[in-house]
Amino acid sequence: MSTTSTAVRSHAEAVEVSRMIDYFGLFILFFTLIGGYHVHGMLTMGDWDFWSDWKDRRLWVTVYPIVQVTFPAAVQAVVWERLRIPWGATACVLAILLGEWINRYFNFWGWTYFPINFVFPTAAVHMAIWLDVVLMLSGSFLFTAVVGALGWGLLMYPGNWPIIAPLHVPVEYNGMLMSVADIQGYHYVRTGTPEYIRMVEKGTLRTFGKDVAPVSAFFSGFMSILIYFIWHFVGRWFGTVKFVKRT
Amino acid sequence: MAATTGTASAAAEAPLVDKKWLAVAIGIYSVFYAWVRWYEGVYGWSAGLDAFAPEFETYWMNFLYIEIVLEVTTASILWGYLWKTRDRNLQAIAGTREELRRNFTHLVWLVAYAYAIYWGASYFTEQDGTWHQTIVRDTDFTPSHIIEFYLSYPIYIITGFAAFIYAHTRLPYFDYQKKGISLPYLVVVVGPFMILPNVGLNEWGHTFWFMEELFVAPLHYGFVFFGWMALGILGTLLQVFASFANLIGRELCGEEVYSGGDAAQWPE
């Protein structure tokens, strides 16, 4: 009878149980985040993330950080405030990157035969580490919104520069000035997404010449500040521990 | 002799974590979805491009009809079983090893739900993107939709509601008669469920405008909104941790942390 009247029998067993809870919790959080963050990401910035010829100096730089700062802000708000865990943003980004890489390999390449160097996802771990470090050192959501989220936006393009630069090299193709990425898009035809749908560096921002990417990154950082601030409240709402009773 | 008896009784006692069910949960989804992906690879290109072809009916529409029947049957049996066999006196096990064991069984359910969400919302949803941006659709029931919308989504919905019913009918912390329904749990189960009815909006839009496939099109934002509800896992996990803290808090952290009763409540 005594074996069933208490939950654990010793401090050692309680420690062992608490470690098991940690592992379970990590798996559940991580895989749920892959699903939630990935479906959010692919439908708000997905086209820029799927194809290298969408990865331009303007809209990719602008859209990706703004829509992607949402889940990191929400998760940080709960895991830092409730549990003092300082890697909420990094967990989000690792989760979505795992989902994206698996998909790009097994489906974009494995089912529809696009080469991986045409469909690689955007690198964002460096942005997430920055966001987590700022929150951990400052302990302030306001400071993290202003400094952390601004950096989140500014760091996106430089962090992706090593992989995207060779694809932005200009080439002459049949008498037209194009990039290597454009030629990839020409040769790997996406029948359901005609060429005219691509939203690549349209508009008068091109008159800024070489400054397109920094200006876009700065605007993206500004918007990321606002989105971070809103979404850390969203995170708190989703972190509610309330019960609802029948009225 | 006493040691022998003690060992025998310990061996007879059920383990706190039934690793067999954990392996079954992960294994079933992994093997099944690997087979589904193989099926897509073989019959997507060979029989899935023309919805008016007889082979499309054979390999894809029959797949759709069979999976819908199996899903309704599985949901009815599983949810019905969990409800009919509910514990009607939950407080009798409060604070016992049995409650701890059930909490771990609940975690196995949540692992299954999280894994099913991954397959549905991540793997098969982005897969749908590359299929439709490559193949011009001529039906709502494309090969990728038959798998994504009508297989992987119902599977995570069935799993999620099963976890939800298990928690509220087996765990004293979630006792629905005493405390009501967990709000974050409701969000994390009903929100992703709503993605399935939202398919109605999505398919209606695609049919009406016959648009090219642009994944960031506003028509898709319903999926985004309900995808946010997956964040309800944050509050749900806090409640799960509180449920465990009630059971191991005293032994883990000492009397000064554990004050007895339903102690592990998060401040609102």
pLDDT digit string, tens, across residues B65-88: 999 999 999 999 999 999 999 999
Tell whether the model's pLDDT for residue B9 goes beyond 90. no
Classify domain B16-47+64-253 by CATH architecture.
Up-down Bundle (1.20)
In angstroms, the CA A8 to CA A141 distance is 38
Determine the residue type at A144: T
What is the interface size between A and B, counted as CB pairs within 8 Å?
A: 257
Query: Do the Cβ atoms of B268 and A242 come within 8 Å?
Result: yes
Query: Do the Cβ atoms of A50 and B215 come within 8 Å?
Result: yes
Task: List CB contacts (< 8 A) between A115 and chain B.
Answer: none
Asked if B28 and B108 count as a contact pair (C-beta separation under 8 A), the reply is no
Quick: pLDDT tens for B208-217: 765 678 899 8
Which A-chain residues 131-190 have CB contacts (< 8 A) with chain B? 190
Give the pLDDT band (50/70/90) at residue B12. low
Quick: pLDDT tens for A120-155: 999 999 999 999 999 999 999 999 999 999 999 999
**Tell me, what's the pLDDT at A196?**
77
Mean of per-residue pLDDT scores for chain B: 90
Domain residue ranges of chain B, discontinuous segments joined by +: 16-47+64-253
Which candidate in A3, A21, A32 is best for mutational testing of the B interface (most B CBs within 10 A)?
A: A32
Percent of chain B past pLDDT 90, that is, above it, reads 77
In angstroms, the CA A112 to CA A107 distance is 6
**Tell me, what's the pLDDT at B109?**
98
Mean pLDDT of B142-166: 97
Task: List CB contacts (< 8 A) between A45 and chain B.
Answer: 216
- Computed on alpha carbons and rounded to an integer, the radius of gyration of chain A in Å comes to 22
Task: List CB contacts (< 8 A) between B266 and chain A.
Answer: 82, 241
3-state helix, strand, coil in chain B (%, to 5): 80, 0, 20
How many angstroms separate the most distant Cα atoms in chain A? 87
Phi, psi of A115, deg, nearest 5? -65, 150
Nearest chain B Cα distance for residue A228, angstroms: 15
- Computed on alpha carbons and rounded to an integer, the radius of gyration of chain B in Å comes to 22
Percent of chain A past pLDDT 90, that is, above it, reads 81
Mean pLDDT of B244-257: 83
User: Which of A35-39, A190-194, B195-199 is predicted least confidently?
Assistant: A190-194
Bridge partners for A172 per DSSP: A177
Give the pLDDT band (50/70/90) at residue A107. very high
Query: Do the Cβ atoms of A39 and B122 come within 8 Å?
Result: yes
Check CB contact of A31 with chain B, cutoff 8 Å.
yes
Helices B125-134 & A88-103 angle (0-180, nearest 10): 40
Q: How many residues does chain A have?
A: 247
Q: Least CA distance to B224: which residue of chain A?
A: A40
Check CB contact of A97 with chain B, cutoff 8 Å.
no
Query: Do the Cβ atoms of B180 and A243 come within 8 Å?
Result: yes
Which candidate in B36, B122, B229 is best for mutational testing of the A interface (most A CBs within 10 A)?
A: B122
Query: Do the Cβ atoms of B251 and A78 come within 8 Å?
Result: no
Kindly list the distances between the CA atom of residue B83 and the CA atoms of A128, B75, B86, B101, B109, in Å, as whole numbers in the listed order.
Answer: 43, 12, 5, 19, 15
Tell whether the model's pLDDT for residue A37 goes beyond 90. yes
Percent of chain A past pLDDT 70, that is, above it, reads 95
Query: Do the Cβ atoms of B214 and A234 come within 8 Å?
Result: no
Mean pLDDT of A12-26: 96
Helix or strand (DSSP H, E) at A244: strand A243-244
Is ipTM beyond 0.90?
yes
Residue B4 makes CB contacts below 8 A (sequence gap 6+) with: none
Query: Do the Cβ atoms of B234 and A78 come within 8 Å?
Result: yes
In angstroms, the CA A139 to CA A161 distance is 31
β-pairing, A176-179 with B181-182?
A: unpaired
Which candidate in B46, B216, B236, B250 is best for mutational testing of the A interface (most A CBs within 10 A)?
A: B216
Check CB contact of B220 with chain A, cutoff 8 Å.
yes
Which candidate in A22, A26, A93, A111 is best for mutational testing of the B interface (most B CBs within 10 A)?
A: A111
The two structure tokens encoding residue B94:
């409060």
Q: Which of A62, A216, A214, A74 is nearest to A145 (CA)?
A: A74
Query: Do the Cβ atoms of A244 and B40 come within 8 Å?
Result: no
Check CB contact of A25 with chain B, cutoff 8 Å.
yes
Check CB contact of B48 with chain A, cutoff 8 Å.
no
Tell whether the model's pLDDT for residue B7 goes beyond 90. no
Query: Do the Cβ atoms of A79 and B224 come within 8 Å?
Result: no
